[in-house]
């Protein structure tokens, strides 16, 4: 069975932000009501955190935390959601999501029950801000 995350770096549903030998960071484009959404993907096919060596796990989590820190600094969300599920694609990846208390699903996960309509003004502000957040993530991860 072919793994979608092994097959390609990038596709129409994501925008590649940064890449190293071990991992890559993409911004997710197919959740229009939650556009402040990045994934940190381990490049090698490994289903679980404990398939990595302690050093590799540390490198992955450092990357996740750097993305989180930049997103907090640039967007000041009310909350960050970090999640690693991999039930659909059993290839290690972390979701980094900026959340606002008035977003369509808060306090549920974005995959949970919808609570309210999205704010168009908020989505427009994010649309303008996100390219700069991507550049800041890239700068944070590549200047090591």
Cα–Cα distance between 40 and 96 in angstroms, integer? 8
CB closer to Zn ion, 3 vs 124 = 3
Examine residue 6 and tell whether it contacts Zn ion (CB under 5 A): yes
CB closer to Zn ion, 25 vs 71 = 25
Residue with smallest beta-carbon separation from Zn ion: 3
DSSP string, 102-134: TSTTTTS-TTS---SPPPHHHHHHHHHHHHHHH
Residue 28: strand pairing partners: 14
CB closer to Zn ion, 9 vs 102 = 9
Identify which of 24, 114, 8, 4 has the alpha carbon closest to the alpha carbon of residue 64: 24
Question: Binding marks (x or -) toward Zn ion, 72..111, rule CB under 5 A?
Answer: -------------------x--------------------
CB of 31 to Zn ion, least distance (A): 21
Residue 24: strand pairing partners: 19, 41
Q: Give the phi and the psi of residue 135 in degrees, each rounded to 5.
A: -65, -40
- Which of 5, 14, 60, 96 lies at the binding interface for Zn ion (CB under 5 A)? 5
- Which of 9, 13, 20, 45 lies at the binding interface for Zn ion (CB under 5 A)? 45
Residues near Zn ion (CB under 5 A): 3, 5-6, 45, 91
């Amino acid at each position: 069975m072919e793994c979608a995350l092994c097959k390609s770096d990038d596709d129409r549903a994501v925008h590649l932000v940064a890449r190293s030998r071990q991992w890559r960071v993409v911004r997710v484009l197919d959740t229009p009501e939650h556009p402040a959404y990045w994934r940190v993907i381990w490049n090698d096919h490994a289903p679980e955190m404990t398939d990595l060596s302690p050093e590799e796990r540390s490198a992955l989590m450092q990357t996740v935390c750097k993305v989180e820190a930049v997103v907090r600094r640039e967007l000041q969300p009310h909350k960050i959601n970090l999640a690693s599920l991999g039930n659909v694609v059993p290839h290690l990846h972390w979701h980094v999501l900026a959340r606002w208390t008035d977003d369509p699903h808060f306090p549920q996960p974005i995959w949970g029950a919808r609570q309210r309509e999205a704010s168009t003004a908020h989505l427009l502000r994010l649309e303008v801000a996100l390219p700069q957040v991507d550049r800041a993530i890239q700068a944070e991860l590549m200047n090591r």
